[in-house]
Amino acid sequence: MSANRLTILRDRAAMLSKARRFFHERGLLEVDCPMLSSYASVDAHIDLIPTKPHGGVTFYLHSSPEYGMKRLLSEGIGDIYQLSHVFRNGESGHKHNPEFMMAEWYRLGFSFQELIQETLDFTRLFLGDLPSTVITYREAFQRYAGFDYLAISENELVTQINRLNIELYPSVIAEGKEAMLNLVLGTVIEPKLGEEGLCALAYYPASQAALAKTCWHGDEEVGERFEVYYKGVELANGYHELTDVVEQRRRLVEANTMRKKLGKDLLPLDERFLQALEQGLPECCGVAVGFDRLMMLRSCSSSIEEVMPYVWDNA
């Protein structure tokens, strides 16, 4: 083992200890929800890894401990965190591995703004005392892409994408406006976020709220959702958590409908998770942070492969 590799792996172990201390000092309880579930977390663009530990019954390696943690929250456990390996099928590259580590936590009674601040503080634990800015999704499009997505039609959005010299595939056009906005975000905007410090991108379109509540921000209904970036790398994804079981079920069905449109397998809805929402999820905010990406940036590595013991093709 090279001296540099040993140094990085020792630092990884030290940062796991520091992360636990960060949460302990703030009164959060560590939990250890199962990685294997009989139900799936349904997302149109995240593919899970299925397995059959009992023959014919399909289970799924989780892409996040979120559903299990929310079940505990509904039982009254209080503020919690989990450091967990998570799995996403087909994801590999210098910022991706099918198996990676995530720090996820939930805060009862926290405001959306308070969780953004705590997430920035957690990130600074790894990256030092960096300055930070908060920019809305709409402001980011106006500043870096040169248009207001709220004021244009799908056809006008196609014109803007062509102006920006972004390659636009027919499948993206067929998927609709949200897919085209995601294309602009990933191609033009994200590389510019966090150039001088940490950047929190907040208040996504209501149509992209995912598991977040919505609210009115100025003249727009938005999802109370944020992501944190540094040097163009997405590090965190947080929400003011949705507690309405009817709306949550509708969004999951909608995600499955999009999966079908994209030619993907439909996934079973997690009825235990939905029952927990019906029982009563307390008002809370939650966030997931990519531990390996933080380590990559902390060590000035060019790939998460350099900060993990082994990646998928060498495991």
Supply the pLDDT for residue 40: 83
Q: Is the pLDDT of residue 55 over 80?
A: no
Residues of the chain with pLDDT > 90, as a percent, come to: 79
What average pLDDT does range 170-186 have in this prediction?
91
Q: Is the pLDDT of residue 57 over 90?
A: no
What is the tens place of the pLDDT at every residue in 290-306? 999 999 999 999 999 99
In the chain the domains, ranked by start, together with CATH numbers, are 3-128+248-306 (3.30.930.10)
Q: Which residue matches tokens 């598991």?
A: 211
Q: Is the pLDDT of residue 14 over 90?
A: yes
Question: Among 314, 164, 175, 143, which residue's Cα sits nearest to residue 258?
Answer: 175
pLDDT bucket at 288, cuts 50 / 70 / 90? very high
* Exposure class string for 59-78: b at 16+ Cβ within 10 A, else e: bbbbbbbbbbbbbbbbeeee
Supply the pLDDT for residue 44: 87
Q: Is the pLDDT of residue 90 over 90?
A: no
What is the tens place of the pLDDT at every residue in 181-212? 999 999 999 999 999 999 999 999 999 998 99
Tell me which amino acid residue 88 is.
R
Supply the pLDDT for residue 278: 95
pLDDT bucket at 237, cuts 50 / 70 / 90? very high
Supply the pLDDT for residue 2: 87
Number of other CB atoms surrounding residue 294 within 10 Å? 25
Question: Among 120, 101, 35, 126, which residue's Cα sits nearest to residue 304?
Answer: 101
Sheet holding 59-61, edge to edge: 36-37, 59-61, 49-51
Whole-number Å distance between alpha carbons of 61 and 6: 29
Supply the pLDDT for residue 171: 86
pLDDT bucket at 109, cuts 50 / 70 / 90? very high
Q: Is the pLDDT of residue 310 over 90?
A: no
Supply the pLDDT for residue 186: 95
Is residue 130 a contact partner of residue 148, using CB atoms and an 8 Å limit? no
Is residue 283 a contact partner of residue 294, using CB atoms and an 8 Å limit? no
> Tokens at residue 150, please?
């709220």
Give 77-93 as a DSSP string. --SEEEEEEEE-TT--B
Whole-number Å distance between alpha carbons of 105 and 126: 17
